[in-house]
Chains A and B, each alone.
Chain A
Amino acid sequence: MNTKVIKLPDIRSSIRDEFPLLRKRINGKPILYLDSASTALKPTCVLEAIRKYYEQETANVHRSTHPLGEAVTVSYENARNRVARFLHARPDEIIFVRNTTEAINLVSYGIGLTKQDEILITPLEHHSNQLPWLSRAGVKYVPLGSDDLPDSEQIPFLVTHNTRLLAVSLLSNVTGIQNPIHKWVSLAQEKKIPLLVDAAQAAGHMPLDVQRLGCDFLAFSGHKVCGPSGIGVLWGRREQLAKMVPSLLGGGMVHESRLDGYQIKEPPHCFEAGTPNIEGALGLAAALKFMENIGMNHVENHSRELGERLYDGLKEIPNIKLIAQEKRDRYGIASFFIKIPGLSAEALGRMLADTHGIMLSTGMHCTHPYHGLLNFPATVRASTQVYNTTEEVETFLGALRGIFGGA
């Protein structure tokens, strides 16, 4: 497993070498992967961690008294510790789930909402941070300002005595812009309302410190921080988790089960019923270690540099409209709308893939309400990660200029 610290000057070539998929060619062309907001590529150390589990450590966790079971239980809990360290949290506040979607659903179910309760979110939220609330409670949305972004000045006015929770994404999967989280935290603390932070995108682009953030819940997905699919994390403050009801019941989460009742364990284990995604947790731990070896501050700087280049390039290309025109707090994600009827986002996406080997997303990126408010049927999204280079961003912009014109 790769444990060396990768210095910033070497960041590009040595990091790219760690991602086997980047050596693949499609129709003879190298891959230019700009779809990391959908899922990030996986470094060799993650593949090795998963392979090692299957080849050398296959056993169940928390259930076996033989050496294999004990060893893998240690590895699994070490993975939990690794996540806790990544978030500057306590290990007993880390719950392994499938993904951010499951994490948020777990909170939505666990805090016992009624239709009279209100949840305050923004219209930019991914469906996974909208539907779990909409299905169980009333939802209020921070209105968009003239810049097509949530007007954070309006947040305090939307809180009522029915507001049970605030939920916001730290980094938008559409705009690549960081939400003004400090305003949400201030309000949450002032009104003593819990705050959930959707960090699905943010976890792969910036350091996270739940103590400094000041939120009560935080969720992210392994596959967006270069870890495997099928593993995610819900962090919750101990006092919040203690009040939550588990949504899944079964083996591994009870101290005792009798014919007429049961006694569940304490968090986090009461929220982890059934055999977990062991290999996923081990792979996630390897991914976080990989990212930490690069240095999350370096990761953030790299993301912001690429985000700035995307912004500067896209806003000069004719016939497209960048979503959220202002330049602020941008990370390596950007989406744009095509102003030419007759050329769809999907057609452009396929053109870029087929002719240039550029892989990106087209559509509404699971943000139908936001696209509806902007009156965009679909957009094109480019999203970067640690393995992308400024040259790749320029190649992408050059491909767009070849189609749309512009200097």
Chain B
Amino acid sequence: MIETAVSQVRETLLNISQRDEVSLAFGGQASDVRLLYERVKDCPIYSKYPWKNTVRPEEFLAQLPLLTKNDLRNHFPNGFLHPSENFIQLIEQKKVEVVRTSGTSSDRLQVLWDTGWWDRHEKTALQTNSFIEPYMSKDYREAVLTTPLCSDSVCKTGPLSMNERIVDYMLFLNTNEDPTRWTSDDLERMLSELEQFCPVALEADPGYLAPLARYLRTSQRRIPKLQWIILTYEFVSAIHKKLIRSVYQCPVFEFYGLTEAGVFFLECLEGGYHFCGQDSLVEILRPRSFSTLPNNLGEVVVTTWGNRAEPLLRYRTHDLVVWKNDPCACGVKGSTLVSFEGRIGDCLEFPGGDIFTPRQIDGALKDIGSLAQYLCIQGQPNSVVVEYVRDGQTDPGPEIEDRLHVLWKRVNVTAREVSFIAPEPSGKYRTVKPL
């Protein structure tokens, strides 16, 4: 019975349907509706949709079912192409490319991009940030720090040289799996390459940049100059963001997007997250009957038509966000996202129906100075073990337990120090593992 009660709220979130309330929408104009309809009406996956003529994009979309990862898998690649188009011909003509999303093997997808689409799309999105925009010239160079750049073959043929890791204007820094396997040679090599390549910006997975930042903080090494840092690829813990800001002394912006759909929200200098998508519309959905979470929290559902190879209608991201209706201090009017709360599947739920997002948990721990990294593991419905890595001399364990007791009240919390926390098989780090 306890397990049933525990799963009820998360199940409600996971079973959000087309009839649930659209609390907010970003992007999309009335004229886009006609464009969208013309683009997708003949795609096999959408050909049986209940199309009705309406004026407002949100109303138009609200009648349509939600799309899931399994839908993308089951209909790849021909389901999204016009019947007159042939996947093999498009590949031969280099009009499309097959791209793989990150994530574990059960989450991973293959998607089709119009050749060159992502690059154009991402650069346009970055230019919506008034700080970044002046730097986006034809000399723009960027370094990327995430899981290693792999050749397209399963057989690994050895680490790639720096030149082999430069693709167009980007240098991919990492060659050695995840940070738990990095040596000081790896760290020094990456920093030297940053100095050699002189990128304007660094786009990084926060779980990978934080160890590099920690190394820089303790070494006497000169810090490579960057105009800004973009944090993306996974949930950004405030602990990592604070460390990275303090070490690199440059603006740090969170950037939200999905390989299969595009980029949608970019942080401004005032900490608001503004819509930066093109040819897309984002809905924030929450169940009508929902009561245990704030009213301004919901799931991101995206509709995109800019990538002609794989237009997506009401694609569920399973990512939760919080918004506000007040204008942002940067001057952008209208609604603004306040935070990325984490994935639905990473929410912790306790007996009685209390549910906590990864962001809420991170918020409780973010000010613990000697905490480098943590992972909350819910072993029993009412019991959580928090594995943590300390940063410095002070043991943050007792403070972790105290703060989470205040947040969760009647939950058993045990903090356990570990020497490292490994990423998931996908290379991404989690902060919460629910039951």
Contact = CB atoms under 8 A, between A and B. Distances in A.
A326 interface: no
A354 B88 contact: no
A231 B322 CA distance: 54
A350 B73 CA distance: 10
B395 to A, nearest CB: 39
Contact of A342 (B94, B109, B153): B94
Contact of A377 (B75, B77, B108, B153): B153
A36 B109 CA distance: 24
Interface in A367-405: 368, 377-378, 402-405
Interface in A328-369: 340-347, 349-351, 354-355, 361-364, 368
Contacts of B98: 342-344, 347, 351
Interface centre among B74, B88, B92 (most CB of A within 10 A): B88
A56 interface: no
B106 interface: yes
A405 B89 CA distance: 11
B76 A404 contact: no
Given A377-B153, A403-B87, A351 B77 contact: yes
Contacts of A378: 152-155
A341 B73 CA distance: 22
Interface residues of B, number: 24
A53 B10 CA distance: 42
B100 interface: yes
Contacts of B106: 26-27
Nearest to A348: B98
A297 interface: no
B92 to A, nearest CB: 6
B278 interface: no
Contacts of B77: 351, 403
B74 A355 contact: yes
A9 interface: no
A28 interface: yes
Contacts of B152: 344-347, 378
Nearest to B100: A350
Contacts of A347: 98, 100, 110, 152
19 contacts: A340-B88, A340-B92, A342-B98, A343-B88, A344-B152, A345-B152, A345-B154, A346-B152, A347-B98, A347-B152, A350-B110, A351-B77, A351-B98, A351-B110, A354-B73, A355-B75, A378-B152, A402-B78, A403-B88
Interface of B: 70, 73-78, 86-88, 91-92, 94, 97-98, 100, 106, 108-110, 152-155
Given A351-B98, A361-B154, A368-B155, 18 more contacts: A26-B106, A340-B92, A341-B92, A342-B92, A344-B98, A344-B152, A345-B152, A347-B110, A350-B100, A351-B76, A351-B77, A354-B73, A362-B154, A364-B155, A377-B153, A378-B155, A403-B87, A405-B88
